[in-house]
Amino acid sequence: MRASRLDLPPPAHAGLALQRYLRQHDDDHSAAKELLNHIAQSQVPEMYQKAFERWRESLKDAVWLEATTKTPLAIGLGNASPIENGLAIHHTYGVPYLPGSALKGLLRRAAEHFGLSEKEKAVLLGEGPDPKGKTPGNAAYLVYWDGWLDPNSAQPFQLDVITVHHPEYYGKKGAVWPTDFDDPNPVAFLSVRPGVKFYLPITCPAQDAQGWPYKAAEVLAWALEHLGLGGKTNAGYGYFACEFGKSAEEEAREREESAKLLESLTSEIEKIQNSGSANKAIQIARQLGDVPPGIRKPTLERLKQQLVSKNLWKEDKEYTKLIDKLLKDIKGGCK
């Protein structure tokens, strides 16, 4: 059965599809491109949401870094794959993820650029054995967990292309000189599209040492934004926008406060029925301007929905401009 038939739904598990459903190898890579194009339409499985919530709950004491791809991400290109390039895909859930080993490796690379002392490097990264062999080395005092995909992501994969301009030169290991007359060979592969968020937890089992995970997260955020993660970083792949995230308890408290705020203002919002009562929208919007962004968002969205439903959402209105600004402030880029 052809993998890209339009009457077939996207695969439920991208990793399984990548490993098992390549129909054939051909010179022009058409079968691989067909399969990858089909996988790129994959959605995040429903069961992943519950798994993600259990995972967050199990890491209550972690320091959280939220990293959103600004450019395509190609991590795990060297992973075993029936096509020429692999990708880091979670074995159980079939979604992209950031291996903890890769994150720690990037942190090690950033240590020199960030000016860490030898003591800081030993705590964050561990240290090797004594050169004379008298004392063994030790692992880092921190745990760098895998970065998990935001379950609200839609179609995190995309079809990408590497173009080999001198296939004869590379295929014959330099026995044939590259020339301007060579035929380029486009090779399709999967990457993670820009705008996809990952959650990166860092923990420290030692007591009274919780400042170290924040230090590690700070260095890692700098590295993700300036050095890039994964392959093809010189070509612009693997760069992120980062911000410190909230703990599971903080998110639960924020959801509770959001619900209370929405409940308290719903009746006022529903009083906006026509142009005569539309000025109430500016009063509510100004009131929400002093509320933390994560808490005010559901109420702002409900206010906008009410204005749209009553045909009062006009671009030239002051309340429209203010509501739009407050919503954009929430959606603004990571810092």
Domain range annotation of the chain: 14-245, 252-331
pLDDT at 308: 93
The pLDDT value given to residue 4: 45
Other CB atoms closer than 10 Å to residue 127's CB: what's the count?
A: 16
Mean pLDDT of 196-211: 84
Average pLDDT score over the chain: 84
Backbone angles phi, psi at 74, to 5 degrees: -125, 85
The C-alpha atoms of residue 115 and residue 119 are separated, in whole angstroms, by: 12
Dihedral angle over CA of 251, 253, 258, 261, nearest 10: -170
Determine the Cα–Cα distance for residues 157 and 159; give it in Å rounded to an integer.
Answer: 7
Can you tell me the distance from the alpha carbon of 13 to that of 93, in angstroms, rounded to the nearest whole number?
7
The H or E element spanning position 287 is helix 279-288
pTM of the model: 0.69
The string of pLDDT tens digits covering residues 123-157 is 888 876 666 666 566 777 899 999 999 999 888 99
**Beta strands 197-203; 63-69: pairing state:** antiparallel
Which amino acid does the sequence have at 251? Answer: E
pLDDT attached to residue 236: 93
